[in-house]
Amino acid sequence: MKIHILGICGTFMGGIAALARDDGHEVSGQDANVYPPMSTQLEQLGIALNEGYAAEHIDPDTDLVVIGNALARGNPAVEHVLNAKIKYVSGPRWLGEKYLARRRVLAVAGTHGKTTTSSMLAWILDHCEQEPGFLIGGIPGNFGISARAGGDTFVVEADEYDTAFFDKRAKFVHYRPDILVLNNLEFDHADIYPDLDAIETQFHHLLRTIPGNGRIVVNQHDAALKRVLEQGCWTPVTTFGIEGEVEADWTVKLLEPAGRKLQILHQSEAVTELEWNLTGRHNAMNGLASIAAAAGLGLEPTEVTAALSQFQGVKRRMEALAEINQVHVFDDFAHHPTAIRLTLEGLRRSVGGARILVALEPGSNTMRGGHHLDLMAPALAAADCVFMHSSDDLAWDPSEIYNRLEAGGRFRHNVDNLLDDMLGEVKPGDYVVFMSNRGFGNAPRRFVDALRQTMAD
């Protein structure tokens, strides 16, 4: 079959392209911006890419067009598909019907931690010789790719964002997993959902698709998830949480403040310990969720923690870019104030009194619209200095945040000026974190290059 993908350079749609190619289809695609790392990954697979949306990029003999959820009516390629009556489908529906229906599926859903927990699960199964397939909204360090076909078991990151311009249901209702991890649930995607109740309804719809002989693994701390379960649940539930804070089937105890050493308990009995490179309560919970889900497949906790001890993280999830003249530089995918807060609190526990400099580009539609404005200052409280990239389409004045922060800092409309400010401020021993779920003008790597140049001079 000849398949053409619109929006192919997004991580999810690029993964769809890789899976379709693995299944023997002839795959091509187009995107507004053809950019690494996805463009590199696709080109290595022999997938033809075109930059910009245009009808002429779609061959007349194309059998199927897979349309990403970033595309809308009025897009030239979309209009051509409709006018020419070319068969089309959304990415999630294609994945669910043509791919996942043949496999045992583990899905990870929630506002935070989906990518990391999915990556952990895929690596656990790979380490335990299960040869899983996976489609993840990031690039796990242990694999270097975002998707692969694998065998009978498949791990998928299950996003609640809408499916396509012609299907406004959440993506994850197409996946029908056997084992579902529910990490947490907060208000997000303000461009799609009016309030948290609307998102809880989508999660309830997801629960309706889980078979009775499956398993749901739920964060016991989360009140919103409890409300979702109360709407109806037909599947056995396993709970997880922090030891001493909640009663749960699986609990984790942080054996040192940063969270690099953990004790894992099942039904209040210690079963194994984990030493790894990750930090923070949030990653302890992500790891525990993956352990509980793997247990649902019959894997032993000691075998699972052996895998997690070798987990290499995910690109753009507190990815260590460089250490130059004792300056540590990280790149983090920051889409929500809670994620920002947990990441910085984890870093603070790890580095003690060292200075933390944060460069923030509010990128998500929810943050840019000011829906979480009251949470932003508390989220940044662990930083010693905050530099914000303020573009013209922000719905709020960045000074509203700076006036509530004890930390110093400033905001800039121009990334070049922001980098100049940071280079003038940074000192040996500092930890610098770039936080954005957009491109940020390639600021993290430009900062690293400038630091190296300073050393060379």
Across 374-436, the runs of DSSP E, i.e. the strands, are: 385-389, 408-412, 431-435
Mean per-residue pLDDT of the chain:
90
Give the β-pairing of 88-90 and 64-67.
Answer: parallel
Angle subtended by helix axes 301-308 and 281-295, to nearest 10 = 140
Least confident of 16-25, 33-42, 84-93: 33-42
Rg (C-alpha) for the chain, rounded Å, is 22
At 167, the pLDDT band (50, 70, 90 cuts) reads: very high
Which helix or strand (DSSP H or E) is residue 266 part of? Answer: strand 261-266
Residue 431 predicted with pLDDT over 70: yes
**pLDDT of 370:** 63
Phi, psi values for residue 205, rounded to 5°? -60, -40
Distance between CA atoms of 239 and 258, rounded to whole angstroms? 23
Task: Please say whether the beta carbons of 263 and 273 come within 8 A.
Answer: yes
Model pTM?
0.84
CATH classification number, 2-90, choose in 3.40.1260.10, 3.90.1720.10, 3.40.50.720, 3.40.50.300: 3.40.50.720
Question: DSSP class of residue 269?
Answer: E
| DSSP string of 221-244, one letter each residue | T-HHHHHHHHT---S-EEEEEETT
b/e map 249-275, b = 16+ CB within 10 Å: bbbbebeeebbbebebbbeeeebbebe
Reading the block at residue 51, the tokens are 């930059």
Ordered by start, the domain boundaries in the chain are: 2-90, 99-308, 319-456
CATH number for the domain whose boundaries are 319-456: 3.90.190.20
Architecture of domain 99-308: 3-Layer(aba) Sandwich (3.40)
